[in-house]
């Protein structure tokens, strides 16, 4: 059997592994983590709505029923496309076909030092760490006697008005509106400042203007300030400098301002295109290496007439590309070009507040929120995970409370800002 090595166990990598013919291929999935996770709900981990284990699923539990798929843990150090070899932090792996599905990482737009100063939500570990920092600020503010210092501790700036930024801003807004009066009687809601900044003219720019306007209205109802046409220039000593020269103090900055491809050392520069994405043809074959190397999902740059800058870097293109590539590999005739079926976009802004674009159909409010919950619930791997998530959502809906606001820190190790490194 031919050996297929898939780097990355996200939506693209996992779906490809599951649909490859077990009679034809010996499949290995390589990932630095030993679990698949569900990034659309990272913001709920960061806001104490869900536990990290609720949206994570061990690879080995999923692969044991497939028979032809194995998992190896490791971080890729270099790929040798000519020798068909991948060097990881633990071993050297040979392959017949290589599939790169590494996804994306944060884009700091020429400000590399920003990574050490802000909080991100690109991994489960980062989302958990962001949760700890939010809880830390609330607890410290509850003890603070100096009014000015208390207001500073409770200042949260969310950078980026895409779905992730809108959702985490809304979740923190719900904490301000519903949790502070119940669990932090020492704190005044007016002392907590939550602001979402977006560099373009409106939030949720990839969705309709109706969705943008409604989402902004929902955020303001949760006492979240929204500032558009506002770009961050630097962040030093807790002071943010914006592009217009304005300088403001912000205790906690949560970064959701953009993504770039997470490239692997050893890839030829001619394979890399806009945004650090790997250039592929309509069959997801890497340009110049069509016989043995493929790229899927967020890392793949496939330009078409409808998508001249590549497909949206969300879950559905990754899943659909993986299934299309699986059919072509299984059939061996390479007749099926990839055509993206856009199933719509959605974002939630707290309880009973969501916006949904499904083609030409638009929903908002409670109906959109129920659609959002149903789609996300069925997309999570594992029945136990789905039940846990559903129970947490029901409990939070009825009680406005959660048992997950636990501030857990190692006692014998120095504090680290980026636990996923």
Distance CA 289, CA 81 (A): 8
The pLDDT tens digits of the residues spanning 136-153 come to: 999 999 999 999 999 999
The pLDDT-based confidence of 289 (bands split at 50, 70, 90) is very high
Distance CA 394, CA 328 (A): 42
Listed in order, the ranges of the chain carrying CATH 3.50.50.60 are 2-32+74-106+259-331
Instruction: Extract the tokens encoding 61.
Output: 């539990």
Give the CA-trace dihedral at 400, 346, 29, 307, to 10 degrees. Answer: -160
CATH level 3 topology of 112-257+351-399? FAD/NAD(P)-binding domain (3.50.50)
| CATH number belonging to the domain at 2-32+74-106+259-331, selected among 3.40.50.720, 3.50.30.30, 3.50.50.60, 3.40.47.10 | 3.50.50.60
Strands 97-100 and 92-94: unpaired
Residue 357: pLDDT above 60?
Answer: yes
Residue 256: pLDDT above 60?
Answer: yes
Distance CA 280, CA 415 (A): 41
Q: CB under 8 Å to 125, separation ≥6 — which residues? A: 418, 419, 420
Residue 421: pLDDT above 80?
Answer: no
Q: CB under 8 Å to 82, separation ≥6 — which residues? A: none
The mean pLDDT of 123-144, rounded to a whole number, is 95
Report pLDDT for 418: 43
Between these two residues, 276 and 396, which has the higher pLDDT value?
Answer: 276
Report pLDDT for 397: 77
Residue 401: pLDDT above 80?
Answer: no
Distance CA 155, CA 206 (A): 28
Look up the pTM and report it: 0.91
Q: Which residue has the tokens 């996992």?
A: 14
Report pLDDT for 400: 67
- What's phi and psi for 258, nearest 5 deg? 155, 170
DSSP one-letter code for 408: -
Between these two residues, 216 and 382, which has the higher pLDDT value?
Answer: 216
- What's phi and psi for 252, nearest 5 deg? -125, 120
Residue 232: pLDDT above 90?
Answer: yes
Instruction: Show the DSSP H helices in 144-279 as ranges.
Output: 147-153, 163-174, 180-183, 209-221
Listed in order, the ranges of the chain carrying CATH 3.50.50.100 are 112-257+351-399
Q: Which residue has the tokens 């879950």?
A: 315
Between these two residues, 158 and 109, which has the higher pLDDT value?
Answer: 158
Instruction: Report how far apart, in Å, the C-alpha atoms of 345 and of each of 207, 248, 359 are.
Output: 7, 33, 9
Helix (H) or strand (E) segment spanning residue 143 = helix 124-143
pLDDT cut 70: percent of the chain above it: 96
Residue 67: pLDDT above 90?
Answer: no
The pLDDT-based confidence of 263 (bands split at 50, 70, 90) is confident
Residue 419: pLDDT above 50?
Answer: no
């Amino acid at each position: 059997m031919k050996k297929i090595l898939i780097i990355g166990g996200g939506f693209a990598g996992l779906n490809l592994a599951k649909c490859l013919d077990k009679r034809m291929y010996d499949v290995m999935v390589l990932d630095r983590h030993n679990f698949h996770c569900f990034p659309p709900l990272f913001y709920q981990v960061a806001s104490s709505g869900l536990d990290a284990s609720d949206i994570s699923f061990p690879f080995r539990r999923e692969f044991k029923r497939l028979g032809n798929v194995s998992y190896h843990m490791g971080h890729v150090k270099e790929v040798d496309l000519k020798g068909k070899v991948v060097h990881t932090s633990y071993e050297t792996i040979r392959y017949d076909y290589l599939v790169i599905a590494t996804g994306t990482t944060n884009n700091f737009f020429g400000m590399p030092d920003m990574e050490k100063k802000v909080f991100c939500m690109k991994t489960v570990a980062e989302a958990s760490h962001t949760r700890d920092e939010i809880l830390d600020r609330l607890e410290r503010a509850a003890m603070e006697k100096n009014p000015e210092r208390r207001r500073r501790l409770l200042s949260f700036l969310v950078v980026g008005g895409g779905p992730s930024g809108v959702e985490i801003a809304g979740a923190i807004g719900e904490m301000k509106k519903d949790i502070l009066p119940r669990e932090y009687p020492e704190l005044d809601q007016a002392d907590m400042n939550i602001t979402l900044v977006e560099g373009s003219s409106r939030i949720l720019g990839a969705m309709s203007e109706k969705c943008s306007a409604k989402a902004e209205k929902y955020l303001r109802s949760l006492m979240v300030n929204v500032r558009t046409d506002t770009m961050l220039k630097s962040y030093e000593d807790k002071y943010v400098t914006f592009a217009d020269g304005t300088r403001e103090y912000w205790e906690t900055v949560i970064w959701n301002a953009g993504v770039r491809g997470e490239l692997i050392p050893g890839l030829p520069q001619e394979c890399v295109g806009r945004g650090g994405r790997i250039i592929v043809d309509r069959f997801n074959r890497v340009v110049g290496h069509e016989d043995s190397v493929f790229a899927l999902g967020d890392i793949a740059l496939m330009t078409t007439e409808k998508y001249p800058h590549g497909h949206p870097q969300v879950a559905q293109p990754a899943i659909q590309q993986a299934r299309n590539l699986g059919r072509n590999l299984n059939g061996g005739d390479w007749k099926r070009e990839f055509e993206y079926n856009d199933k719509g976009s959605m974002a939630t802004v707290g309880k009973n507040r969501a916006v949904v674009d499904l083609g030409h159909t638009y929903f908002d409010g409670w109906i959109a929120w129920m659609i959002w919950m149903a789609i996300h619930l069925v997309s999570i791997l594992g029945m136990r995970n789905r039940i846990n998530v559903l129970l947490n959502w029901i409990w939070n809906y009825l009680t406005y409370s959660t048992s997950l606001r636990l501030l857990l820190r190692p006692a014998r190790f120095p504090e680290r800002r980026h636990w996923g490194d």
